[in-house]
Amino acid sequence: MKIFFLLLFICIFSFKSFSNEVKILRESIGSGLEVKNHSKLSVHYIGKLEDNTVFDSSYDRGQFFNFQIGVRQVIIGWETGLLGMKEGGKRTIFIPYELAYGENDAGSLIPPKSNLIFDIEVIKVIPPGYKEIDGHQLKLAMTDNFKIIDIRNEHQITNANKIPGAIQIAAFDKNGNFFPDFLEKYKENVQIGEKVIFVSQKGDVSSILANGFVEQLNQVNIYHLKDGVLGLEKINFDFE
């Protein structure tokens, strides 16, 4: 359990701001399911240096590469560069070294500060185990048998943005430290199998928490609010 939340902490709060971004060089749009945050993927790929030297190829191994977006199983450039692709689609992306292996090398074939180029083919997409809802759907959920868990901390919650009927259980303080009593308070308010909606300020933290509950704790009926409370403000949501 401690390991899970340590990994969760790293996933949420280790993001850095980079001046360079992934560039899409070529693309063939697929027709299947779309790649979203926390999708599970099976892909084929060819990795190249800028001089077109191939350093890795799943085609040569004859084996798909399987991973999940958004949990740091791949380099940051893949985390962002594959979003929006669809099953059957192909994309060639340019990844600056800051979003690849940084100033370090990666084995004998990838020198330090290497910008990378990947040809990627999406074979299969499995949606996240949790469900994503928007503000309008939240309004409907409030009339149904859902538990709404507001995981924002006290510095984010004001008298003007409280969600009616929501249970406030802060998950992290303003410095990103996980509250060790979160799970205990959660269990005091939620029964196994109940429908739960996690709400955060922007929606990013709630999606990661929802994914952790599904993937690591094997929970079912887990939802998260897309775009968070800030998204509710844009649709003139009726706060308390």
Which CATH number belongs to the domain containing residue 182 in this structure?
A: 3.40.250.10
104 and 141 share one domain = no
- Does 47 map to a domain? yes
90 and 172 share one domain = no
- Report the chain's mean pLDDT, rounded to a whole number: 90
E strands, the chain, where? 23-28, 40-49, 54-57, 65-68, 90-95, 116-126, 131-133, 146-150, 167-168, 195-199, 222-225
29 and 88 share one domain = yes
pLDDT, one tens digit per residue, over 143-192 is 999 999 999 999 999 989 999 999 999 998 888 888 889 999 999 999 99
- Does 239 map to a domain? no
197 and 101 share one domain = no
Question: Which residues have CB under 8 Å from 145's CB, separation 6+?
Answer: 194, 195
Q: What is the mean pLDDT of residues 1-12?
A: 46
pLDDT of residue 18: 45
The phi and psi torsions of 120 (rounded to 5 degrees) equal -125, 135
E strands, 96-138, where? 116-126, 131-133
Length of the chain: 240
Q: What is the mean pLDDT of residues 124-130?
A: 97
Domain holding 67, by residue range, is 17-126
Assess contact for 207 and 37: CB atoms under 8 A. Answer: yes
Confidence of residue 20 (pLDDT cuts 50, 70, 90): low
Assess contact for 97 and 113: CB atoms under 8 A. Answer: yes
Assess contact for 122 and 89: CB atoms under 8 A. Answer: yes
pLDDT of residue 240: 87
79 and 162 share one domain = no
Smallest CA-to-CA distance from 171 within 136, 132, 127, 201 is with 201
68 and 142 share one domain = no
- Does 5 map to a domain? no
Alpha helices, DSSP H, located in the chain: 2-13, 58-61, 76-81, 135-141, 182-189, 204-215, 228-234
Which of 108-117, 127-136, 211-220 has the least mean pLDDT?
A: 211-220
178 and 198 share one domain = yes
Assess contact for 95 and 75: CB atoms under 8 A. Answer: yes
| Interaxial angle between packed helices 2-13 and 204-215, expressed in degrees from 0 to 180 and rounded to the nearest 10 | 150
Assess contact for 65 and 44: CB atoms under 8 A. Answer: yes
Q: What is the CATH number of the domain that holds 22?
A: 3.10.50.40
Tally of structural domains, the chain = 2
- Does 86 map to a domain? yes
Asked whether the predicted pLDDT for residue 6 surpasses 50, the reply is: no
